[in-house]
Amino acid sequence: MRISMRMSIRVRRTTIGLAAAGTLLVATGCGAADMTKQSSPYANAKGAKTVTLSVQSWVGAQSNIAVAEYLLKHELGYRVDTVQVDEVPAWDALSQGRVDAIMEDWGHPDQEQRYVKDKKTIVNGGGLGVTGHIGWFVPTYFAEQHPDVTNWKNLNKYASQLRTAESGGKGQLLDGSPSYVTNDKALVDNLKLKYQVVFSGSEAAQITQIKQFAKARKPFLTYWYQPQWLFKKVPMTEVKLPAYKDGCDADPKKVACAYPKTPLQKYLNADFSKSGGKAAQFLKNFKWTTEDQNEVSLLIADKKMSPDEAAKKWIDEHESTWRAWLPK
Amino acid sequence: MAAASTVTAPAADTSRLGALVRNRALGKLLLLAVVAAVLIPIVNAKWASGSWPHALTVDLTGPLGKTSDWIIDNRDSHPLFLYFFGHISNAVVICVRGVYLVLLAAGWAGVTAAAGLIAWRVAGLKLAAAATAAFLACGLLGMWVPTMQTLALMIVAVLASVVLGAVLGLAAGLSDRTNRALRPVLDTMQVLPAFAYLLPVVLVFGIGVPAAVLATVVYAAPPMARLTALGLREADGGVMEAVASLGATARQRLLTARLPLARKQLLLGLNQTIMMALSMAVIASVIGAGGLGDRVYQALASVDVGAALAAGIPIVLLAVILDRTTAAAGERLGAAEPDGRRLHGLSGWGVAALVTIAVALAARFAGRIDWPDTWIVNIADPVNNAVDWMTSHLYSGVPYIGGTADWAGHFTTWVLDPVRDGLQGMPWWAVLLVVAALAWLIGTWRTALTAVLAMAAIGVLGVWKPSLDTLSQVLAAVAVTLVIGFAVGIAAARSERVELLLRPVLDVFQTMPQFVYLIPVVALFGVGRAPAVAAAVVYALPAVIRITTQGLRQVNGAAMESARSMGATSGQQLRQVQLPLARPALLLAVNQGVVLVLAVVIIGGLVGGGALGYDVVFGLAQGDLATGLVAGAAIVCLGLMLDRVTQPTERRAKKGA
Amino acid sequence: MSTTVEKAREEGAHTDAPVFSVRNLWKVFGPKADRVPGDAELAGLSAAELRTRTGCTAAVRDVSFDVRKGEVFVVMGLSGSGKSTLVRCLTRLIEPTSGGISIEGEDVLGMDKGRLRALRRHRAAMVFQHFGLLPHRTVLDNVAYGLEIQGMGRAERRAKAAAVVEKVGLEGLEQRRPGQLSGGQQQRVGLARALAVDPEVLLFDEPFSALDPLIRRDMQEEVIRLHREEGRTMVFITHDLTEALRLGDRIALMRDGKIVQLGTPEEIVGSPADDYVREFVRDVPREQVMTVRRAMRPADADEVGRGPAVAPGATVSEAIEAVARTGFAVRVMDDGRCLGVVDHARLLGVVAGTGAGSGVEAGSGTDSESGAGAASEAGAGASASASAGSGDAGSDAVADVTPPGEEVA
């Protein structure tokens, strides 16, 4: 009796050992391991269904995510992970399933060709409802004093006023994060402007600088984009560049025209789109307006609310809008 | 040409030549001048241009772009990825997930208890209290889950680094050939800015935890390997001989003598690995590490210093606790242990484990496994208000001294611009010559050769101009760092109280993720190179101050006493005794300062520093391997060059022992 | 005490093979070291010439000697003379360049790894100048270390180690770590570690030169005591002449890798082989090393019956004391026979280094025993105890010394 018990314990131990070894084998495997199909180790930590969303570094993107996250959590019972990734790497991550969705894309034809058309690992999730536009802006207080600054032809006249230590003898054109779409260097060259493009390296740095300029009521010229909450804090007026025509920006070196208006798109991982259930459906349905987005953005970036609080505030006030997004 | 004239002058007067050659430094310069006088006219005739001649560059854009495309296209099909990288990636995910789940299962109470008890066993009661408080603080700041994510990633990365480092170190420690092959590599990795590692790893593994862990391992393993090798190599020869004389086998010699003799170095290696892993875990948030670093990074995006600080504080706390605990463990090793301590130690660990489990279970049954939301203190608002107040009052228009914006402007115009224009205006061969002269004066001809080759490689890569721009920022930042660092260091060395006050400040600034203070720096100094320099100064200062203080403090007491006995004033003591005797330490401070400054000047690409830093950020943001990798390689070369130019021979000799 | 010495000597007589036998041993450091010993021209060069010609350094040059069972064989020389290299060659801690070494007839250089390990583990244990203790282990575990690597179980080796710890006088310090001990105590641990494996030979490499003079004296006494008690063969390296004379049954004096003289302390002091040795031993208190056997002259008829009697192995200083006390010349008595006498003039000659010593040997060659080989043969045990006792030149030393020399011879 005793012997058999001891035996059985030993047998059980061996079984456990074998099972553990087996699990490890299955887990790390001798077979192929496609890392493009691996999810985040933090995902599904408590057995909940998890959606991983890519957050880009600008606040507008954070607003999309905040609202989507709040609704996914509270209305659909998902757990949401967010990963901050720059735009191009985000496409890659999306293709690999490291993230499930990008909520706001400003147009990346190369990536679209590669992942949506060729590899078919990403699908378009429909429009966000917001139209993006990139341009050059001066503060409205400056534009009111010097109305002709809003035409690019007159920019050289103001170069000396827009000088900073960083731009040296030329005027300063403040540019943003390296992840942004920009033709500014070529534009300055091709339009023969006496300006120096100064890259601020991150949007945070750029916003901080703009605010400091505004506080001191100094003139400045900056690359900026709409929708952006900062316009409510620092009113800015766009400088007209030569009009955009289809294909005028085809050769990046010869660009001499304005930026297009881009309807912002959502993109989903192909697998997630198929088998993501209600979450995938919800994200496809997600569509709001520039004003909506700006409202949330302003709460986050300027009122220093946490994204969660900001989303809650907006959701409390716009129930009719988001009700329509929930899958039936 | 100045070089030619110095050659002919001494030749006329042989006795003076003899005197010159006798002076080693002058002798080296002379020889260099001769070489230069021969080479430069030839080189100049062939490639006459101020900047690096275009004919000597290699354009890597095409091949790198193709490589990048190939990797992306084949990542889910090629066997190399399926059967090699795939498994690595998989194993990382499983490990991190396993640790993370354990940490979550233990709950905040269990983890806090475990931290306190481990610190108690390893380092005593005081640190146990500190560790407990630190973990509770992480919870209070509302950062419990991110802290656990970072901790899980750290544990896996540190373990992997330690294993990898120990294996490499073992190989280098036991085999001379491996050591010769490995040492230059490890030396070099030691000086590389973390940012330079990210892009290649991301390309292969994609954004996410595996890439972050691997980048961290690559970054954190070298110190472990170095110190393991060093410890094994420095094992007391007498002991090893005694052990051999008793007939121990090679295995016995290693296990019972060589390894135990290296314990101190091994622990020091662990300590450094942990610190480097932690700093990398934050930087790796750029490539999807998640956790605390990601919170800091996201807060940075919304210009929210308060939120960044809330995530930054747990990092600082973790770093300080881990550093102190491992350091205390190292100190304890050498100290006496009373009788029968070992057995007591085992039962002590048992008690610690039991208490941890009990606490974890108690919390679980009390339904308090997650950190309660009501216990979270919001520090973001007050911090933001303080920062706002500070920036709005200091930015401009301060009477008499002008605002920080004015300072930044002046600094850019009067320091950064001339230095940059000077460097970029210098003929390229003159730059190489200066590098060679400096490196040779301070080291051997080998150091000089390495430095010159590194600099030349930058030219070949076609990033000569941006590299010199970055170099000008580094030089300016180092100058400022050294002036402030030496001044504060001297003050701290002369007054216990100053040192005591400084210590926590230095700790915080040394471990605070650089991302946290990028925003205040921009708010104060605007966008551009000035804030990059300011951030670098803030980051490098603590190390410089520390090394200076220690160097001055360790000056031979007898020498100080004799100076005092001759009635030297304290100023005289400082100038004539302390500073000359502390020269090795001061040189080390310069070396460390340069390496640290370079690391942050690169990150300064995020605040308008431009040049190489911007290229690396751009490469990461756009997935542009050509730009990013070339810039990364240039940074590597720049770091190598700067290290060689500032690394005194004595230190190298000691390392070579 | 006398019995153990006797036993040792008897055993020595039984086994013919020396413990260590070294023949034409060379150790050359440097590039292509092998060619030096075989090349007569190179082998003949001085150290400096050899270095400039070949870049090699010959640490040990053509050394031959035997270590007999039970003796304390001292290798003495200044630093750089090659003595430490020599002792390391014995167990191949340093691999010799050429020559032969055998231990009890077994070729050491031909041993494979396993045999060599067995040699180091069981037959020859070494005590080092800088102790070579493992800092992370307790005293007890350090002592037991040799047993541990032999694969002995924990309890057994600890018990053995505890016994040895007691033997060297470290009771109560078993749980200390080396860092908490004084230098003398650490060297006792080193000694205990070597003793614990119960080796046939103990090798000492300048074991006491790092210690304070007083402690050094203590440790020397300790070694003498151990040798007296156990009769274990010892090879002892030192640069300290006093130490060599105190401990050594025979001394090999090395210079530039060569043995310049090999003999008993008395021979070294009494008849230096060359000027180098003479210079070396110049300041030695000769009366404490020289025996009356070498200082005596044939007795006149009237001297045979009168005056104090001493054994042939007694030191000159003992004879001086006896002469001063009685006023007569001292009779050297062996087994009731009067071998000769030592008078004032002879004694003063020894002290002054003029008369006796080389003079006696060269001049009259009193008996066969004064020849180098034979003298040491007979005097092995005796002079060991003589030099041991003579250190203090106290009166008890006389009592200690006289009987065994008498009886055994």
We report the CATH number of the domain holding residue C196 as 3.40.50.300
Comparison of pLDDT for B163 and A176, the residue scoring more: B163
Q: Is B340 on the interface with C (CB under 8 A)?
A: yes
Give chain B's domains with CATH numbers: 2-48 (no CATH), 157-303 (1.10.3720.10), 405-652 (1.10.3720.10)
Q: Return residue ranges of chain A for CATH 3.40.190.10.
A: 44-131+262-323
- Amino acid code (one letter) for A276: G
Section A124-132 average pLDDT: 88
- Residue C298 sits in the same domain as residue C272: no
Does residue C322 share a domain with residue C235? no
Q: How confident is the model at residue B388 (pLDDT cuts 50, 70, 90)?
A: confident
Is the pLDDT at B141 greater than 70? The verdict is yes
Cross-chain residue pair C132–B238, CB shorter than 8 Å: yes
User: Can you give the pLDDT at residue C324?
Assistant: 83
Structural domain includes residue C171:
yes
Closest Cα in chain C to B264: C136
Per-residue confidence (pLDDT) for residue C65, from 0 to 100: 92
Q: Taken in order B70, B76, B77, B83, is the CA torsion positive or negative?
A: positive
- Whether residue C75 is predicted with pLDDT greater than 90 in this model: the reply is yes
Cβ pair C133:B239 closer than 8 A: yes
Residue C321 and residue C259 in one domain: no
In the predicted model, what is the mean pLDDT of residues B226-253? 86
pLDDT at C67: 92
Let me know if residue C33 belongs to a domain: no
Q: According to the model, what pLDDT value does residue A39 have?
A: 61
Which residue did the predictor score with more confidence, A18 or C277? C277
Q: What percent of chain A has pLDDT over 70?
A: 85
Q: And the tokens for B150?
A: 């970072």
Probe site for chain A from B286, B302, B390 (most A CB atoms < 10 A): B302
According to DSSP, residue A325 is labeled T
Q: C126 contacts in B (CB within 8 Å)? A: 242, 245-246
Mutate which: B240, B245, B253, B256, vs C, most C CBs within 10 A: B245
Q: Which residue of B has its CA nearest to A98?
A: B208
Decide if B97 touches A, using CB distance below 8 A: yes
Tally of domains within chain C: 2
Query: Percentage of chain B surpassing pLDDT 70?
Result: 89
The CATH code that applies to domain A44-131+262-323 is 3.40.190.10
**Could you tell me if B623 lies within 8 Å of chain A, comparing CB atoms?**
yes
Nearest CA in chain C to B257: C134
pLDDT of residue B280: 83
Q: How many CB pairs under 8 A join B and C?
A: 78
Which of C280, C311, C344 is where one domain is finished?
Answer: C280
Lowest mean pLDDT across B564-573, B590-599, B625-634, C123-132: B564-573
Say if A133 is an interface residue toward chain B (CB within 8 Å). Answer: no
Q: What are the structure tokens assigned to A35, written together?
A: 């890392």
Long-range contacts of B294-297 (CB under 8 A, 24+ apart): B294/A83, B294/A84, B294/B146, B295/B143, B295/B146, B296/B513, B296/B515, B296/B516, B297/A84, B297/B515
Residue-wise pLDDT for A141-172, tens only, equals 988 888 888 888 888 888 888 888 877 778 88
**Terminal-to-terminal C-alpha distance of chain B:** 42
Chain C contact for B425 (CB, 8 A cutoff): no
Alpha helix (H) residue ranges in B59-175? 61-74, 79, 86-123, 125-140, 144-174
> What is the pLDDT, as a whole number, of residue B235?
82
Q: Is there a domain that residue C125 lies in?
A: yes
Mean pLDDT lowest among C7-21, C88-102, C266-280: C7-21
Query: What is the mean pLDDT of the segment spanning B628-651?
Result: 79
C136 and C262 in a single domain? The answer is yes
The reply to whether A32 touches chain B by the CB within 8 Å rule is yes
Q: Are residues C174 and C262 in the same domain?
A: yes
Q: What are the backbone dihedrals phi and psi of residue A306, each rounded to the nearest 5 degrees, phi first?
A: -70, 150
Which pLDDT does position A314 carry in this prediction? 92
Tokens of C394: 């106290």
Comparing CB atoms, the residue among B246, B333, B337 nearest residue C149 is: B246
**Average pLDDT of the residues of chain C:** 78
Facing B239 at nearest CB: one of C134, C148, C177: C134
pLDDT of residue C371: 37
Residue B82 is classified by DSSP as: I
At residue C373's C-alpha, the angle toward residues C370 and C374, to 5°, is: 55
Tokens of residue C251, six digits: 């001394």
Within its chain, how far is the Cα of B429 from the centroid? 30
**Nearest neighbour of A200 by CB, restricted to B205, B207, B527:** B527
The CATH number fitting domain A132-261, selected from 3.40.190.100, 3.30.365.10, 3.30.1130.10, 3.30.420.10 = 3.40.190.100
Residues C311 and C204 in one domain: no
Range of the domain at C306: 286-408
B530 and B412 in contact (C-beta within 8 Å)?
yes
Q: Which residue has the tokens 């090793």?
A: B333
Q: Is C134 in Cβ contact with B261 (below 8 Å)?
A: yes
Question: Would you place residue A41 in the very low, low, confident or very high pLDDT band (cuts 50, 70, 90)?
Answer: low
Chains C and B touch (3+ CB pairs under 8 A): yes
Q: Do B246 and C125 touch (CB under 8 A)?
A: yes
C246 and C392 share one domain: no
Q: Which of B99, B108, B114, B100 is nearest to B143 (CA)?
A: B108
Nearest CA-CA partner of C133 in C198, C210, C188 = C188
Shortest CA distance from B236: residue in chain C = C132
- Residue B246 in contact with partner chain C when CB distance is under 8 A: yes
In whole angstroms, give the CA distance from residue B495 to residue B500.
Answer: 9
CB-based contact, B617 to chain A, within 8 Å? yes
Q: Buried b / exposed e across B612-638, counting CB within 10 Å, b at 16+?
A: bbbbbbbbbbbbbbbbbbbbbbbbbbb
| Of residues C5 and A207, more confidently modeled | A207
Mean pLDDT of C53-60: 86
pLDDT at B281 over 70: yes
Cβ contacts of A203 on chain B, cutoff 8 Å: 301
pLDDT of residue C390: 37
Taking CB atoms and an 8 Å limit, are C150 and B247 in contact across chains?
yes
B247 reaches C (C-beta below 8 A): yes
Chain B residues 378-397 with a CB less than 8 Å from chain A: 380-381, 384, 391-392, 395-397
Last residue of a domain, one of C255, C280, C305: C280
Q: How sure is the predictor about B16, in pLDDT bands with cuts at 50, 70 and 90?
A: low
Tell me: pLDDT of C403 over 60: no
Whether C353 and C376 map to the same domain: the answer is yes
- Tell me which residue of A25, A166, A89 sits closest to B410, measured CA to CA: A166
How far away is chain A from the Cα of B416, in angstroms, using its nearest Cα? 9
Interface of A with B in 207-246 (CB under 8 A): 207-209, 212, 215-216
Q: At what angle do helices B625-646 and B61-74 cross, to 10 degrees?
A: 120
Eight-state DSSP code of residue C181: S
Q: How near does any CA of chain B get to the CA of C51, in Å?
A: 25
Q: Which of A249-253, B73-77, B118-122 has the highest mean pLDDT?
A: B118-122
Separation of CA A206 from chain center: 16
Predicted confidence (pLDDT) per residue in C316-345, tens digit: 888 888 888 888 888 888 887 888 888 888
From B394, which residue of chain A is nearest by alpha-carbon distance?
A: A212
Using DSSP, state whether C206 is helix, strand or coil: coil
Amino acid at B527: V
Least confident of A303-307, B6-10, B268-272: B6-10
Judged by CB atoms closer than 8 Å, whether chains meet at B621 and A216 is answered as no
Q: Work out how many CB contacts closer than 8 A connect A with B.
A: 231
Q: Quickly state the pLDDT bin for C64 (edges 50, 70, 90).
A: very high
C384 within some domain: yes
User: What is the DSSP secondary structure assignment for residue A163, as one 8-state letter?
Assistant: B
Residues A102/A266, Cβ–Cβ less than 8 Å: yes
Nearest chain C residue (CA) to B339: C175
Q: In this prediction, what percent of chain A has a pLDDT beyond 90?
A: 7
Predicted local confidence at residue A198, as pLDDT: 87
Identify the closest residue of chain C to B263 by CA–CA distance: C136
Asked if C120 lies within 8 A of B246 by C-beta distance, the reply is: yes
- Of residues B605, B521, B544, B538, the one with CA closest to residue B283: B605
Query: Cα dist. A50→A72, A78, B186, B260 in Å?
Result: 9, 6, 41, 47
Nearest to A243 by CA among A228, A226, A255, A225: A255
Selecting from A83, A92, A216 the residue whose C-beta is nearest the C-beta of B623 gives A92
Which residues from chain B sit within 8 angstroms of residue A87, using beta carbons? Answer: 621
Average pLDDT over every residue of B92-111 = 84
The pLDDT of residue C252 is above 90: yes
Residues of chain A with CATH 3.40.190.100: 132-261
Q: Does the beta-carbon distance from B207 to A168 stay under 8 Å? A: no
The overall longest dimension of chain A from CA atoms, in Å, is 102
Q: Is C84 touching B (CB cutoff 8 A)? A: no
Taking the Cβ of residue B212 and every Cβ of chain A, the question of whether any pair is shorter than 8 Å is answered with no
Measure CB to CB from residue A201 to each of B91, B411, B614 and give the nearest one: B614
More confident residue, B487 or B646: B487
Place of tokens 């002076």: B23
- Residue B334's pLDDT band, with cuts at 50, 70 and 90, is low
Alpha-carbon gap, residue C77 to C244, rounded angstroms:
10
Alpha carbon distance A168, A249 (integer Å): 29
For residues C249 and C304, state if they share a domain: no
Listed range (B79-88, B435-444, C11-20, C56-65) with the worst mean pLDDT: C11-20
- On the 0-12 / 13-18 / 19+ scale of CB atoms within 10 A, B381 is exposed
- The CA distance from A50 to the nearest CA of chain B, in Å, is 15
Does C35 map to a domain? no
Which residues lie below 8 Å from residue A266, measured CB to CB, with a gap of 6+?
Answer: A101, A102, A103, A104, A105, A124, A125, A126, A127, A128, A283, A284, A286
Range ranked top by mean pLDDT from A35-39, A61-65, B356-360, C303-307: A61-65
For residue B484, the model assigns a pLDDT of: 92
All residues of chain A having their beta carbon less than 8 Å from the beta carbon of residue B213 are: none
Residues 160-189 of C with CB under 8 A from B: 175, 177, 179-180
Determine the distance in angstroms separating the CA of B77 from the nearest CA of chain A, rounded to an integer.
8
Q: Among B73, B90, B287, whose Cβ lies nearest the Cβ of A38?
A: B90
What average pLDDT does this structure show over A172-182?
Answer: 83
Does B342 contact C at CB distance below 8 Å?
no
The residue among C280, C313, C343 that closes a domain is: C280
Report the number of secondary-structure helices (H) and strands (E) in chain C.
20, 13
C290 and C252 inside one domain:
no
Mean pLDDT of chain B: 79
Query: Chain B partners of C149 at a C-beta cutoff of 8 Å?
Result: 243, 246-249, 252, 256
Same structural domain for residues C147 and C90?
A: yes
Q: Is residue C36 part of a domain?
A: no
* A194/C62 Cα distance (integer angstroms): 89
**C194: Cβ contacts below 8 Å, ≥ 6 apart:** C125, C126, C127, C146, C202
Does B26 touch chain C if contact means CB atoms closer than 8 Å? no
Say which range, B163-167, B171-175, B374-378, has the weakest mean pLDDT: B374-378
Residue A228 pLDDT greater than 60, yes or no: yes
